[in-house]
Structure 1
Amino acid sequence: MQVAHRGHDGREPCDSAGPAKQKQKQVCKHITHAEEMRRKADGVWLSIGTLAQQHLENLYCSTSRHDVQLVDKAGSSWTLNLNFMDLKPSQLYDRVRRLSNSSDSSRNPYFPMEWQVYWEECGEWLVYEEPVRWELLAAFEKGMWNHAFKLRGQLYNVDLKTLTQRNVRTGFTRRILHCPVFRPPWRLAPHLRTGPGTTLSSPSTVPGEDPQDTYWGPYPASWVPKAPVGTMYTLAEVAPAERAYETTCTLFHKTLAEDKVLVLAVYRVRNDYLWQKYCGQKKFMAQSRPRAVRRCLERHLFHGTRASKVQPICEMNFDPRVSGENGEAYGQGSYFAVDASYSHTYAKVDEASLCHMFLAKVLVGRSVRGNPVFRRPPLAHDGCLYDSCTDYAKKPQIFVIFDSCQCYPYFLIRYKLLSEPVAVDS
């Protein structure tokens, strides 16, 4: 029987790397974990790329994957067994090891490794209920060989070395799994200290990053450089410690699970020409509405696209004139979605196995159910045009915009499917 235990190789790299140890603009690369490959020729352990570590750690913490594919830029490919951490073929590298912090919160109060225990039922891994879960985690922490517990009148014995659970009366045996809980960098960021006096950016401190405010001034993230002469826009990577990164990822993962996709980077898009057009339209639309209605004027919505369309969108905005490439069920305009999972269907994987999605500012205003023949919103009862079209009037999930002044490509999310191979040198 295959042993389904995912531990580490004994070294605990960062128990002393708490917030007080973090120097300005320096973040420990191994806050909770690190993955390394062993070169077979001399036995030297070599670190893999930062993004590859996030990808592999996510897979390592998953209950659904036991074998994963690793690739490098030279075209080499390996299969890694996550339970035994061996590589095949093994001519160049023969093993992978995972180094992690301890789970002792007294030694590392900010970044202790969190673990979970699962039992297998019909091919699915289910979390043990309390207090059994807590008892098993404590037994693993103490290094015990076995642990017995009683549940619903049945006595069970768990072998903590072979990771099997046996019903003492019937002898029925099932597998269990002991693996860590994945925590992406942005979840750890609030515990990091990035320097004296440094504060995290948040929607309350960056005008316009809350869609309910009425800001229509200059581009709010003033620290992002203006576009160089001869170019239209600047892409600036958002740090995981920024509140904007957290809110973007939280919204993104609301419908795209963290065990399915991995966010690699979030970028702010600064295009002063498009921003001025957008703010002018926002001001115009807001002035004709009561103050209470203005708070519902703008929404942050997703738009998935191909890699080849990212630059044109950043330069010239979403273009309603090219509607029809991905359907026009609710009108001939630019489509935006409340859920990232819907927009993901249009974010095609590129040659580098990456996907791209915008989190856009959209002036939805007054909406009405759309129609494929619409080239603009229809007239409302008051004789004025609606501002946008939707799929459903009561609880819309899709919005269609017919005027490019009503949208702005605010954030760009670069991500990949966890089912894609791990690029070890990324």
Structure 2
Amino acid sequence: SSTPSCTEHHTPYPFHWQLWLRRERRICRCTLTFDFMEVKGTAYYSGVRRLASSDSVVENPYFTSKWKVYWWNSKDWEEYNQVTDVSAFLLQKITEEDVSECVFHIGRQEYVFHVDAMRQTNVTTGFSRDVRCRPSYCSPDSMTLIPTEPVGGPPGENFSVDPLQEFTSWYPPVWCLESGRDYSLVDLPAGTRAHRSVLKLFHESLPETVVDIVSIQQVQNLLHWDKYQRSSCCLSSGAPPLPRDDQRRLGGHNNFDPRMAGFNGASYGSGCYFARAASYAHQYSVRWGRDATRRVFLAKVLVGKVSLGSEAYRRPPPLDRRASRFLLYDACVDDVHRPGIFVVFDSCQCYPYFLVTYKVLPRVVDIR
């Protein structure tokens, strides 16, 4: 923390942007060029710089700067996210001041990385692309040093337990309905383990640089939860509760009522559609209100035995067409081997576990 005698710059984030004010500050819209660190489109700012904390965990164990390496794919900057060993290798070479160039491989392709020029060159074709090193974005929520649990909440709520993990009780750990009510929306306090768990899952496909989470609420509905739990005990065969692989956490759209099927298409059957990635459900979300927030459900879905879907299906197909026609698959998918979309035809097989409210971050930033 800063002290009155310290002349150094202090900020609660790993990096901080500063603009050099030339004239009286006003509301303006301008363009920042990262390559030359220049501000264009305004006469009020003449320079810009980025202050970064140390990337050493020894010198800075709490808010360590994390860096990412990108290459220009002719349309946009793309991170070396599929080849993490290359990214780490390039980061190491960038920090070595006495290295002018080095060689690395991606698959069968060999490249020369020119550290001084920040360019990679394909040894076979001679084609060169720009390379850039940028700090990883950190949201204000991730800057909480020691997350604290709320004090004095209603009895029964346990925000220190991950509600996405398996639990032995009939109801989830974050569950406390008021007396006389059978339905409630419970806010997950920011910084708690329950909140961080849902946040992490959501940001796997919709990162913090794209969307801003407004709130996360758990849906507590006794009637629908009881139906879901009973279905998990007897799905397909009347067997004991399903293993974890057959109970998935998926993003939901098309509502949770199979009677609404077909409103946004029914390529894999007339049922309730769920997706692995929140980014897919985002495509079907609707903007609400003046602040243009969106909402998607993180749902618990009993998928059981799955079959490839078809537009003609109004229920799952038979497990064995030569046997009894009453023995059906439990759900349909877009790909049996690597499913990304799941369709269920019985509302008892799904439960709207959490309601995530968020908004898309604008690409243009107003500097005030």
- Relative distance call for 1:138 and 1:187 in structure 2 (3 A) is farther
TM-score, normalised by the number of residues in structure 2: 0.67
Corresponding residue number in structure 2 for 1:319: 257
More RCO (CA 8 Å, sep 6+): 1
Code of the residue aligned with 1:111 in structure 2: it is F
Corresponding residue number in structure 1 for 2:4: none
Corresponding residue number in structure 1 for 2:15: 33
TM-score, normalised by the number of residues in structure 1: 0.59
State the secondary structure of the residue aligned to 1:134: helix
Which structure 2 residues correspond to residues 254-333 of structure 1 after superposition, within 5 A? 254=204, 256=205, 258=207, 261-265=210-214, 267-272=216-221, 275-287=222-234, 289-291=238-240, 293=242, 295-304=244-253, 318-333=256-271
Q: State how far apart, in whole Å, the 1-side matches of 2:245 and 2:134 are.
A: 44
Corresponding residue number in structure 1 for 2:278: 340
Q: State how far apart, in whole Å, the 2-side matches of 1:253 and 1:221 are.
A: 21
Q: CA deviation at 1:137?
A: 1.2
- Relative distance call for 1:40 and 1:353 in structure 2 (3 A) is farther
Corresponding residue number in structure 2 for 1:143: none
Give the alignment partner of residue 13 of structure 1, picking from 3, 10, 13: 10
Which structure 2 residues correspond to residues 50-199 of structure 1 after superposition, within 5 A? 77-84=29-36, 86-90=38-42, 98-116=50-68, 133-139=91-97, 147-149=99-101, 151=103, 158-159=115-116, 176-184=131-139, 192-195=145-148
Q: Is 1:412 equivalent to 2:355 in the alignment?
A: yes
Contact preservation (8 Å) 1:302, 1:358? yes
Q: CA deviation at 1:360?
A: 0.8
State the secondary structure of the residue aligned to 2:31: strand
CA RMSD of aligned residues (A): 4.8
State the secondary structure of the residue aligned to 1:291: coil
Q: How many residues align?
A: 333
- Relative distance call for 1:377 and 1:177 in structure 2 (3 A) is closer
Give the alignment partner of residue 388 of structure 1, picking from 298, 316, 331: 331
Contact preservation (8 Å) 1:304, 1:356? no
Corresponding residue number in structure 2 for 1:234: 185
Structure 2 runs not aligned, ≥5 long? 1-6, 81-85, 105-110, 122-126, 152-157
- Relative distance call for 1:346 and 1:166 in structure 2 (3 A) is closer
Contact preservation (8 Å) 2:214, 2:358? yes
Q: Is 1:216 equivalent to 2:170 in the alignment?
A: yes
Q: State how far apart, in whole Å, the 2-side matches of 1:36 and 1:395 are.
A: 46
Contact preservation (8 Å) 1:304, 1:358? yes
- Relative distance call for 1:34 and 1:295 in structure 2 (3 A) is same
Contact preservation (8 Å) 1:278, 1:407? no
Q: Is 1:402 equivalent to 2:345 in the alignment?
A: yes
State the secondary structure of the residue aligned to 1:286: helix
Contact preservation (8 Å) 2:332, 2:342? yes
- Relative distance call for 1:271 and 1:213 in structure 2 (3 A) is closer
Q: Percent identical across equivalent pairs?
A: 29
Q: CA deviation at 1:393?
A: 4.4
